Chain A
Amino acid sequence: MLEPLLGSTNAERVLVFILTRNEGYVREIARVLGGDPDSIQKQLAKFESGGVLVSRTAGKTRLYSFNPRYPFLKELRGLLEKAVSFYPESQREALLMNRRRPRRRGKPL
Chain B
Amino acid sequence: MKAIRDMSTGELAAFICSHLKKYEIDVVLSGGSCVSIYSNNKYVSSDLDFVDNQYFIRGAKVRDALSEIGFYEENRYFKNSETDLLIEFPPGPLSVGEEAVKEVAILKYTTGELRIISPTDCVKDRLASYYHFDDRQCLEQAILVARDNKVDLAEVERWSSHEGKPDKFAEFKRLFEKRKT
A residues adjacent to B (C-beta < 8 A): 49-51, 68-69, 71, 73-74
Contact = CB atoms under 8 A, between A and B. Distances in A.
Interface string B84-101: 000000110101011110
B76 A69 contact: no
B91 A69 contact: no
The secondary-structure label for the interface of chain A is loop
Given A69-B128, A71-B98, A73-B98, 6 more contacts: A50-B91, A68-B131, A68-B132, A69-B129, A71-B97, A74-B98
A69 B130 CA distance: 11
A71 B95 contact: yes
B99 A69 contact: no
Contacts of A68: 131-133
B132 A71 contact: no
B91 A51 contact: yes
Interface string B12-51: 0000000000000000000000000000000000000000
Nearest to B132: A68
Query: Which of B76, B91, B129, B131 has the most chain A CB atoms inside 10 A of its CB?
Result: B91
